[in-house]
Amino acid sequence: MSSATQEAATMNPTCEQCGGQCCRGLVIPAGNPTPEQVEWMECRGRVVDGQWYVDAPCLYIAEDGRCAIYATRPRVCREYAVGGEHCRATRRAYGREA
């Protein structure tokens, strides 16, 4: 991807360019985990900006990467704003943007 294209993608993210990352994991406040919890979490994801990003793909990701239940997807999915605060944080956590 050229730097100009990368810059445009960062300013106006698209789910295709992102790879549907917010459907592929859970975000959990890191809190104050025990050493055993840290060991387990480190096998499942990463910590970025005080939050755990646990790799756990949704059951409803279709083969083409789209939502297989789009018309009836949960409310939290409907309200998740492309380019919003959580979208941007997820994209940063998975290296989709700086």
Binding residue (CB under 6 A) for ligand SF4 from 18, 52, 53, 93: 18
**String of contacts with ligand SF4 for each residue 21-50, x by CB under 6 A:** xxx---------------------------
Distance CA 1, CA 9 (A): 10
Choosing from 52, 53, 91, 93, the residue that interacts with ligand SF4 (CB under 6 A) is 91
Among 26, 27, 54, 77, binds ligand SF4 (CB under 6 A): 77
Count of residues engaged in binding ligand SF4, rule: CB under 6 A: 20
The DSSP string of 57-72 is --TTB-TTSSBTTGGG
- Other beta carbons within 10 Å of 10: 14
- Show Cβ contacts of residue 54 under 8 Å, excluding neighbours closer than 6 positions: 25, 26, 27, 28, 41, 44, 45
* Half-sphere exposure (Cβ direction) of 3: Cα atoms closer than 13 Å: 0
Pick the binder of ligand SF4 from 10, 20, 44, 54 (CB under 6 A). Answer: 20
Chain residues that interact with ligand SF4, rule: CB under 6 A: 13, 15, 18, 20-23, 58, 60-61, 67, 69, 73-74, 77, 80, 82, 87, 90-91
